[in-house]
Chains A and B, each alone.
Chain A
Amino acid sequence: MAWLDTRQKLEILADAAKYDASCASSGTAKRQSTRGAKGGIGSTEGMGICHAYAPDGRCISLLKILLTNSCVFDCHYCINRKSSNVRRARFSVEEVVDLTLAFCRRNYIEGLFLSSGIIRSPDYTMERLVAVARSLREDHGFRGYIHLKTIPDADPDLIREAGLHADRISINVELPTQAGLTRLAPEKSSARIEGAMGRMQAEMIDSADARKRYRKAPRFAPGGQSTQMIVGADAANDRTIIDRASSLYGRFGLRRVYYSAFSPIPAASAVLPLSRPPLIREHRLYQSDWLMRFYGFSAQDVGNATDADTGNLPLDIDPKLAWALKHRDSFPVDVNRAPRTMLLRVPGLGVKAVNAILHSRRWRSLRLEDVGRLTTSVAKVRPFLIAADWRPVALADRADLRPRVTPPPRQLDLFGA
């Protein structure tokens, strides 16, 4: 291999890392740097910061790279698989540390998201990842955000050390079903992945427990663990994906499940579909994820919003509206009397609007125009609400309700997807 300069390596190893959707830097412990030789650099204040956005609409919050894109595995969906002919590169531990600090000093990033192809052995690779985090924290007093990808088969002691330096750790389940994994990632097994997730959860619980007794007990991954599923590379439908996500949240206390719409990669493998699933499918899955995390929907509720035949969420309307149209007997909801859980079911009312309604209605009876000031579109909520001066004229029973509330097909901007 010809000698590559830092910029060439960075481009290869960032290009190889971009199929990981997560770039979150929020929700970890608060930390700041202090004056002095050991004072360090960087901070985390709860809210993540997106320092730039790429034209794919994704936030750039972290330096997201692989340590190397060489890999002994041969996962079909992965650009870095053994049989792919992409250019390979490898960073040294020092190079990643220097790059992270140089970017941090210029305020380009919140921190580092480091992953790697598997070289030599899982332990060898994991040890290199941990060495980067250890050097940043211990040699340079780095107080910014670190997300480490962990390798399921690595020594639990290495995973433990990763969690002591990192804010977040993650293992991707990659595909929603074991059948999909067997076909597309023959060297991976969902049992081993879930075993590792379970051990990491146990570490987090132990650490939280120890901190109740000793305030200085070390934190284990205070930003929690997350995972990612590829959507559209196998035949799994939305209902299967949602059930799987819900079970991962429930069993491993995951902070986030990310979805990544399969996108064509250079030098693709023969068993993959050639075309991508519509990005809107990924968006609908994220919306259903929000309904489960913030709106009190169960996986079964969201499952009810899917099409009975295909098991997929509608693409033309959002899952909350789809649920409401299938449960018209639950509407209209009285904005001045309904409990929070029912207000959260109204299409077009977000969590903030619902909280504002609950605050405001303690003092007076709300009219439709009041609701209009709290939401972006009164037209969307109107068919589902009763207000002091408003009652939908049996609109919820109308056969033509769906066309009336479905957003008109929009001419996407020239470059939109």
Chain B
Amino acid sequence: MYQIKLDAPDDFEGWRAAARRLARADVPPERIIWSVETAGSGSADDLFAEAFSGAGRPDMDGSESADAAPFAISRAFLDLAQTALLHSDPARFALLYMLLLRTRRAPHALHDKADPLVRRVEALAQAVRRDKHKMRAFVRFREIGNGDDAERHFVAWFEPDHHIVRANAGFFVRRFPNMRWSILTPATSIHWADGILREGPGANRSDAPDGDPVEDLWKGYYSAIFNPARLKVGAMLSEMPKKYWRNLPEAALIPALIAGAQAREAAMIAAAPRKERLSQERMSR
């Protein structure tokens, strides 16, 4: 058995380098144990595994030896792998390695969208893309500071499903380059200030501010833009599942808006003057 330890759960470059060496040496997937280096790990190591460094084998030391066969992998595979690797499923490294071996034998393998392995990896990538998109949508910054422009700092707390935070940082930089902001998550945190993006350790919800004066306006807007005459709770839930609600200030209003909706619509109809009801009857004839 070979043991491959990656530096981080989203260590694509590490996976890529290891997978390249393993694939060159034709190591079958079932002989590899993939894991992620964590502080203080070691006890969980497989006792029968050996570290796969490739030391002493010229084709495995990471450098391209002159007689090595060219190792060409399609852009499509790399794009897919780079996304799918951010999934929280521990099997992702092995699945991607299996798919890598297959695309080496059959370059068109990725085109067979009905193939179960391709399907499974595509599903991982799809879940990651959705999680990234939801983070862009549902991060809510809260301002701390004393109103002095130089002191303004916007802080958000977010709980992603997958290892997307680093990969998503660029979006927030492109959108808010002139703000000082931090996004705190359980596994990692990112901070932007003075044109520099820094990473920090995971945080707790209590590390983030618990309110912002503009939130009241936002909640007022959320209630007012809702049309009680067309309640569609299922449609809301499919795009904004309850797991996100606890970090969305406006979500606290939802139960009352739903409960009040039918009463409000009935009141509008009841309030219509009697003359209108007559004209309604005329129209329907």
A interface residues (Cβ-Cβ under 8 A, vs B): 6-7, 10-12, 14-15, 17-19, 32-36, 39-43, 45, 47, 49-60, 63-64, 99, 102-103, 105-108, 261, 263-276, 279, 356-357, 359-360, 362-364, 366, 370-371, 373-374, 412-413, 415-417
Contacts and interface: CB of A to CB of B under 8 A. Distances in A.
A177 to B, nearest CB: 16
A417 B231 contact: yes
B232 A50 contact: no
A107 B158 CA distance: 13
Contact of A54 (B140, B156, B236, B283): B236
B246 interface: no
Interface stretch (B23-31, B41-49, B52-60, B216-224): B216-224
Nearest to B230: A56
Contacts of A6: 217
Contacts of A64: 225
Given A11-B221, A14-B224, A106-B141, A55 B268 contact: no
- Among B133, B177, B284: residue with most chain A CB under 10 A: B177
Interface stretch (B61-69, B83-91, B109-117): B109-117
- Among B142, B228, B233: residue with most chain A CB under 10 A: B233
A14 B140 contact: no
B239 A275 contact: no
A264 B280 CA distance: 13
Given A45-B171, A373-B114, A415-B231, A17 B178 contact: no
B176 A18 contact: no
A41 B176 contact: yes
A185 B143 CA distance: 45
Contact of B177 (A18, A35, A272, A356): A35
29 contacts: A11-B221, A11-B223, A18-B226, A36-B178, A41-B176, A43-B175, A45-B171, A47-B133, A50-B137, A54-B225, A54-B236, A55-B254, A56-B226, A56-B228, A56-B230, A56-B235, A105-B176, A106-B214, A107-B141, A107-B156, A107-B175, A264-B229, A264-B268, A268-B268, A272-B276, A274-B280, A275-B280, A357-B113, A360-B112
Nearest to B142: A106
